[in-house]
Amino acid sequence: MTILALENVHKVYTSRLKSQHTHALDGVSMELEKGEFVAIMGESGSGKSTLLNLLACFDDTSEGAIYIQDKNIVAMKEEEKALYRREHIGFVFQDFSLLDSLSAEDNILLPCILSQKDLKEKRKYLQKLCHTLHIEDLLKRFPYELSGGQQQRVAIARALINEPDILLADEPSGALDSKSSMQLLELLCALQKQGQSILMVTHSPLAASYAQRVAFLKDGKIIQEIYSGEDNRETFYNRIVHMLSVQESRDLHEY
């Protein structure tokens, strides 16, 4: 079942005097199945963040359609988008983006409070999430009392508390040390195995090797997609690295 579909999505940034146009996304089309874990890789300026911003309804497309659960989010109004984002999308940021004024528990519960969900039920679900993410003992602490890895796990719990259709992750391991980074990626894998759809943007081939599929973005276009299939992680990692080196040598040749 397709949970996310992009159809010929364009995003053009125009300078203030309308003299310059930059094609950040140039006819991107892709699909994400329910329970699938997809990584998007690309260099800086390739359009990764723009794509994620469009999926999260932070920005509007210039052309094309984006369907989440068969609903075209491009046609939604500003207020509708915010509500949709709150209910159906979970977002994990590179800088964790936890609110300093709230404890870990309150940070996690915040989306439920904003959506006015039944707090008793959500607390039960919170316990389950905390067990999966190993943060049971951290709930009463404030973000400044947590390490980077712990903060990111709290951020994931916050993204998942409303049981979103899709989890969007923007370089989730970017600000973490290698050990915390591995633990986090293992967690994402575990979540995917529980049926969570995940779309992750990353620079790191190692992080991407945890996904089932990797889409390579260049100059606003998806130039290739590779699937892990039956490969183990090491093999898939090698394929990603090979893919990147082929691209780089092609760039060098073109340059």
Binding site for another protein (CB under 8 A): 53, 56, 58-59, 78-79, 82-83, 85-87, 91, 93, 97-102, 106, 109-111, 113-116, 119, 142-144, 158
- Which residue is it, tokens 């999308």? 89
Closer to another protein by Cβ: residue 101 or 232? 101
Rounded Cα distance between 214 and 202, Å, is 10
Rounded Cα distance between 55 and 205, Å, is 22
Closer to another protein by Cβ: residue 33 or 87? 87
What single DSSP character describes residue 97?
Answer: -
> Shortest approach of another protein to residue 143 CB, angstroms?
7
- N- to C-terminal Cα separation, the chain: 42
- Strand stretches in 69-165, DSSP E: 71-72, 89-92
> Shortest approach of another protein to residue 141 CB, angstroms?
10
Closer to another protein by Cβ: residue 99 or 190? 99
> Shortest approach of another protein to residue 213 CB, angstroms?
25
Closer to another protein by Cβ: residue 44 or 101? 101
Rounded Cα distance between 143 and 91, Å, is 17
Closer to another protein by Cβ: residue 58 or 227? 58
Helices (H) and strands (E) in the chain, counts: 8, 10
> Shortest approach of another protein to residue 79 CB, angstroms?
5
- 166-170 vs 197-202, strand pairing mode: parallel
> Shortest approach of another protein to residue 15 CB, angstroms?
14
